[in-house]
Amino acid sequence: MATIIDGRVVSASIRESLSREVQTLVSQGLRPPHLVAILVGNDGGSQTYVGAKEKACHEVGFLGSVIRYPETVTEEELLAKVNEINHNDQIDGLIVQLPLPKHINENRVTLAITPEKDVDGFHDVNMGRLTKGADGIKPATPYGITLMLKHYGIPTEGKHVVVIGRSNIVGRPMSILLSNPGETGNATVTVCHSRTPNLTWFTQNADIIVAALGKPGFLIGDMVKEGCVIIDVGTTRVDDPTKKAGWRLCGDVDFASVEPKASAITPVPGGVGPMTIAGLLVNTLKARKAGLAARTA
């Protein structure tokens, strides 16, 4: 029977620690960290994610704000707001919820956020620091996954890790974090994608698999070896008339066929999702501390 890697439990532990740190800051007469999210349009998934982030901020004692724009907002208006927040010393972290409407260049908006406030870890400067193994803000989802591996004592050193998916949000930074020196690094990492021939050969020879390709139920039991650790990053909405909402979240892993062979596995929901928010909160506190240090230097 596989160990179920419960992201909710790990996230709760991290939030408790963060809450204590915030209380210490406030007791010293300092303001708590402040995270701002910009939400464009009325996408249901985006609203849910931003709401969860705002709630998590308040639970740990952060200041959490959401700035909402209609889908018709211009790129220039959005960039102006980002620039305003960049120069606001009362705000430590800024995220722009993706996806954005097609008339807005996501890359331009992402790069407009100053690296010091880019708590999602998407900016080229933060990605560059990650690649070099330098200290900096790490992409929230991959960072959250490493925190989860650490909590459960799952070793990565010397292990063969297969990352399925090469996005700049999860796949690429995940491969770098796991191969970099460190407590949750030193792995031998193979990045597979849609052009990888005989992908099953790689997954069958993996000690750890991180599935982050956005295809529900893609990884099945025949594709993994006994004792493999499975990290499922997928969160696709699929129709389900038995659910009140009419849909359910489905991961990239066929849990029913993979779980009996795995030594440990993340569920969907309740696995990686809570850890993305935990990573975001840790990054925001890091940004707050960096800002304090810069002002007292």
Query: Which residues does the annotation mark as catalytic?
Result: 53, 97, 120
- List, as one string, the DSSP characters of 170-231: THHHHHHHHHSSSTT---EEEEE-TT-TTHHHHHHT-SEEEE-S--TT-B-GGGS-TTEEEE
Q: Which two tokens stand for residue 249?
A: 């979240």
SS3 of residue 76 by DSSP: helix
Q: Contact 172/191 with Cβ under 8 angstroms? A: yes
Q: Cβ-count burial of 263 within 10 angstroms (0-12 exposed, 13-18 middle, 19+ buried)?
A: middle
Q: Can the peptide bond before residue 197 be classed as cis, meaning omega within 30 degrees of 0?
A: no
Across the chain, the runs of DSSP E, i.e. the strands, are: 3-4, 34-40, 63-69, 93-96, 160-164, 188-192, 208-211, 228-232, 236-239, 247-250, 262-265
Q: Contact 74/80 with Cβ under 8 angstroms? A: no
